[in-house]
């Protein structure tokens, strides 16, 4: 499995050491989760929108689609900040790395049940992917902003003073969740 083919945005990280660490962390998570390449596209990005999952159990938006979309939204935001003269205030490499790794813990938070459905596993229910993700990357000595993106991108970070890069990742992550949830809720009420 070639991680860079799954996540081409990795190549936008200019620092070679960070680029390699991000690649290795994603590879470790996917291997620990026991997923093969075909499986990856069958993992939904969330279990909170049941309508996302087709009858044949394929998700309309996979975890891979989500991670890439959030990272691309982060890059688009960075480009707007650059136009506002604020680009120098953000670490673009760490923003891209944080976008790519924010949900790294989901590869170990989820598992497939006996009916082939993707579910949250026992550890996932107790720890959730932010904590599982941080535990998983300990050996890579990632920059603090990337570690903060992993552990505090979601509701766990609501009382935390997020770094600017992590604030962008958090908001792009929710942009790639809340409106999607509303789209499917709306579709459901239309049907009733
Ligand atoms: Fe996410």
Provide the token pair at 123: 């550890």
CA of 102 to the centre of ligand 1 (A): 6
pLDDT digits (tens, 9 = 90+) for 59-87: 999 999 999 999 999 999 999 999 999 99
Q: From the CA of 186, how far away is ligand 1's center (Å)?
A: 22
- Count the domains in the chain: 1
Ligand 1 centroid vs 16 CA: distance in angstroms?
Answer: 24
Q: What CATH number does the domain containing 175 carry?
A: 1.10.3210.10
Residue 149: domain span: 3-191
User: What is the 129 CA–ligand 1 centroid distance (Å)?
Assistant: 10
Average pLDDT over residues 117-146: 98
By C-alpha distance, which of 101, 115, 118, 142 is closest to 33? 118
In angstroms, the CA 18 to CA 20 distance is 5
The whole-angstrom distance between residue 144's C-alpha and the CA centroid of its chain comes to 17
Kindly give the distance from the C-alpha atom of residue 104 to the centroid of ligand 1, in angstroms, as a whole number.
Answer: 9
């Amino acid at each position: 499995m070639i991680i860079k083919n799954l996540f081409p945005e990795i190549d936008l990280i200019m620092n070679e050491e960070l680029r390699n660490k991000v690649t290795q962390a994603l590879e470790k998570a996917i291997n620990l989760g026991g997923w093969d390449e075909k499986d990856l596209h069958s993992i939904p990005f969330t279990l909170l929108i049941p309508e996302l999952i087709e009858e044949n159990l394929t998700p309309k938006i996979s975890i891979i689609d989500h991670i890439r979309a959030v990272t691309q939204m982060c890059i688009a935001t960075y480009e707007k900040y650059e136009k506002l003269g604020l680009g120098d205030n953000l670490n673009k490499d760490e923003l891209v790395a944080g976008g790519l790794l924010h949900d790294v813990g989901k590869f170990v938070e989820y598992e497939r049940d006996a009916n082939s459905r993707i579910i949250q596993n026992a550890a996932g229910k107790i720890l959730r992917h932010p904590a599982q993700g941080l535990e998983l990357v300990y050996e890579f000595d990632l920059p603090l902003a990337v570690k903060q993106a992993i552990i505090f991108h979601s509701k766990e970070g609501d009382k935390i003073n997020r770094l600017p890069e992590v604030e962008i990742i958090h908001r792009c992550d929710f942009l790639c969740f809340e409106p999607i949830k509303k789209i499917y809720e709306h579709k459901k009420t239309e049907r009733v």
